[in-house]
């Protein structure tokens, strides 16, 4: 299973992120390239424990989160197109510096080499093992790169 905690996988993802440019267009979904980049930097900071994020599982997640997580990470299959985004991760700002945001995302990807965020609780899936986090982060990153044909 591919995981962000594998050095070769991180390098492959970084190579793909580097291909993003201001002309990159989404093949599905509502995000433009600026919003996708900002979404990913914010999302990864959340996973990594950067900035002041609170960690609390939503009520529906307490009911269905573990079942959904198991389904999403059980095999190599990529995430479905147009899966919903939690409100806290929706980005309206379309005016970001593409190169700067790419650099920040790449820097965050590299930080998974030394991942340590024991207080992380996913807002829907709840408490996760490091293995589950690694697979989820890989699949989330892959999902958004495929969204832009990369």
What's the confidence (pLDDT) of residue 51?
85
What's the confidence (pLDDT) of residue 110?
98
What's the confidence (pLDDT) of residue 92?
78
Residue 39 has pLDDT above 80, yes or no: yes
Higher pLDDT, 95 or 68: 68
Domains identified in the chain and CATH numbers: 7-147 (1.20.120)
Average pLDDT over residues 28-51: 94
Residue 132 has pLDDT above 90, yes or no: yes
Phi, psi of 121 (to 5 degrees): -135, 120
pLDDT digits (tens, 9 = 90+) for 1-10: 999 999 999 9
What's the confidence (pLDDT) of residue 2?
97
What's the confidence (pLDDT) of residue 77?
95
**Element counts in the chain: helices (H) and strands (E):** 5, 2
What's the confidence (pLDDT) of residue 56?
92
| 126 strand-pairing partners | 122
Angle between helices 130-147 and 7-17 (to 10 degrees): 20
Confidence grade of residue 20 (pLDDT, cut at 50, 70, 90):
very high
In 3D space, the residue among 100, 91, 89 whose CA is nearest the CA of residue 44 turns out to be 89
pLDDT digits (tens, 9 = 90+) for 81-125: 988 787 778 777 777 899 999 999 999 999 999 999 999 999 999
- pLDDT mean across residues, the chain: 93
What's the confidence (pLDDT) of residue 66?
95
């Amino acid at each position: 299973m591919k995981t962000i905690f594998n050095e070769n996988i991180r390098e492959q993802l970084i190579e793909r992120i580097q291909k993003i440019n201001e002309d990159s267009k989404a093949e599905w979904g509502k995000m433009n390239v600026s919003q996708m980049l900002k979404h990913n930097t914010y999302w990864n900071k959340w996973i990594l424990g950067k900035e002041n994020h609170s960690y609390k599982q939503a009520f529906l997640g307490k009911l269905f989160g573990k079942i959904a997580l198991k389904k999403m990470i059980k095999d190599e299959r990529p995430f479905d197109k147009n899966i919903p985004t939690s409100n806290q991760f929706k980005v309206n700002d379309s005016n970001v510096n593409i190169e700067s945001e790419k650099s920040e995302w790449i820097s965050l990807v590299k930080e998974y080499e030394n991942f340590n965020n024991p207080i992380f609780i996913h807002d829907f899936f709840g408490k996760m093992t490091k293995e589950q986090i690694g697979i989820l982060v890989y699949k989330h990153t892959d999902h958004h790169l495929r969204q832009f044909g990369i």
